[in-house]
A = this chain, B = another copy of it.
């Protein structure tokens, strides 16, 4: 009468605490030996019983492993609603999808802000920015339109332009000068916008004075683009 885990009786705790109780090696091997002859197998010798018990313990270990994995899955997922197996998997799915959305958004932001330098200007990657400066070359009367373009990809406090001047200096050199109100990350966003355009910047100058940010950029342009 070893302390084998009693089968078919009580000992039916909640499965999580049972996991802890199952930590010791479950050697309940004599139990099905006691239950042998229960369904009248073909050969009631010891070999068949051993094989059956092997299968039993193997299956038990498989279940134990699967439960441990599920427990570990529950550990890495926050905001678990219930302790059910199905709920654990459901919450894990929702959490992964949530992380997927977050990653997609962040990737999109980073791609908008930091990219634009891989290929030159083959017109297939940027979303907002690369539609602006090529327009700058055609007309100067559309200044007021740029007030509404969402400068700065971050959704927090978009940059609002106060002034924008574009002048052709000759010798494939373009002068872009703009001013805007200084608020948080204004200089960062301006630099991001200009660096994301992948332009050939000859020299750039950005300065802040009395609550304003003034940026002056000399750009090398090729007239046949």
Contacts and interface: CB of A to CB of B under 8 A. Distances in A.
Interface of A: 62, 65-66, 69-70, 72-73, 76-77, 85-86, 89-90, 92-93, 95-97, 99-100, 102-103, 106, 114, 117, 154, 184-185, 187-188, 191-192, 194-195, 201, 203-209
B188 A184 contact: no
A45 to B, nearest CB: 25
A201 B213 CA distance: 12
Contact of A187 (B76, B77, B86, B195): B195
A70 B89 contact: yes
A73 B191 CA distance: 41
8 contacts: A65-B86, A72-B93, A89-B89, A187-B191, A188-B191, A201-B208, A204-B207, A205-B207
A201 B185 CA distance: 13
B185 A195 contact: yes
A109 to B, nearest CB: 10
A207 B214 CA distance: 13
B96 A69 contact: no
As for how many copies of this chain the complex holds, the number is 2
Given A99-B103, A191-B187, A203-B209, A93 B66 contact: no
A180 B220 CA distance: 22
Nearest to A85: B66
B204 A195 contact: no
Given A73-B92, A76-B96, 9 more contacts: A69-B86, A69-B90, A70-B89, A72-B93, A95-B96, A102-B103, A103-B103, A185-B195, A188-B192
A89 B66 contact: yes
B184 A195 contact: yes
A217 B201 CA distance: 21
Contacts of A72: 89, 93
Contacts of A106: 106
